[in-house]
Amino acid sequence: MKIAVCIKRVIDMEMRFRVAGDGASIDETGAKYDINDFDMYAIEAALQLRDKAGGGEVAIVSLGPVQAQEQIRKALSMGADRAVHLAADRIPSDGLAIAEALAAELRDGAYDLILFGKMSIDSSGQSVGPMVAELLELPLVAAVSKLDVQGDRGTAGRVLEGASETIEFPLPAVLTIDEGLNTPRLPNLKGIMAAKKKPLETRPARLGEQRVRTTSIELPADRPPGRIIGEGVAAIPELIRLLQTEAKVL
């Protein structure tokens, strides 16, 4: 089984975000980075599928700055076999521009499966995986939280709003992986050592045209100060009224 997993280097979400001088990006001074959370489930799924199939290859593909090689190495240390780094100084806001670069890389790879995390927790677009499927004209299942592959067919499960569904698909296919599918393994020491010797190719990302731009980013307004509306059971009618008419959540 030959599987590609597309991963993204993302900034540490616990940092205190500050808007950079350009007003449209984050001040990344002193920031830490890691593999996007959802991509970890995709890597783990790929490793399990490869091992279950008794062989094959897991290739990591990551588009981003040269520092993304740190995250690529981590994926290799988890057990992936090789990696391709598509070098781009900045990751564009337009998912389609990214998808075009990834599709160009993946098109002739003869992959049985191309996996993505359901979304990147920084840009939160959930767009690149489905777009790659479209550009490669491959079957697509997004937000997979259950997965079984037998031969050249797969069965996936996903959770909808208030429902869930089971999906059957043929291979090759593109899947985006939701949390809960598995527990991603931690790299072990042997894996870290081995990763240093695994092949990592770098080539420039052939980004597509950028149709969408981030023109500004802002921090959310501070919450208004809290308000005590009353005491004890007597305050309940007022609470119900406010929830219905002001907050509109009832």
Strand 146-150 relative to strand 153-160, pairing? antiparallel
* SS3 state at 206: coil
233-246 CB burial, b ≥16 within 10 A, e <16: eeeeeeeeeeeeee
Q: Which is nearer to another protein, 57 or 134 (CB)?
A: 134
Mention every residue, 6+ apart, whose C-beta is less than 8 A from residue 130.
140, 142, 174, 176
Q: Which of residues 41-60 bind another protein (CB under 8 A)?
A: none
Interface residue with another protein among 15, 87, 104, 200 (CB under 8 A) is 15
Interface residue with another protein among 151, 165, 197, 245 (CB under 8 A) is 165
Q: Which of residues 184-213 bind another protein (CB under 8 A)?
A: 185-186, 188-190, 192-193, 196, 211-213
Q: Which is nearer to another protein, 57 or 229 (CB)?
A: 229
Q: Which of residues 102-121 bind another protein (CB under 8 A)?
A: 121
Interface residue with another protein among 4, 68, 143, 149 (CB under 8 A) is 143
Say if residues 43 and 78 touch (Cβ distance below 8 Å): yes
* Interaction between residue 135 and another protein (CB under 8 A): yes
Closest distance to another protein from the beta carbon of 221 (Å) = 10
Burial class (CB in 10 A: 0-12, 13-18, 19+), 75: buried
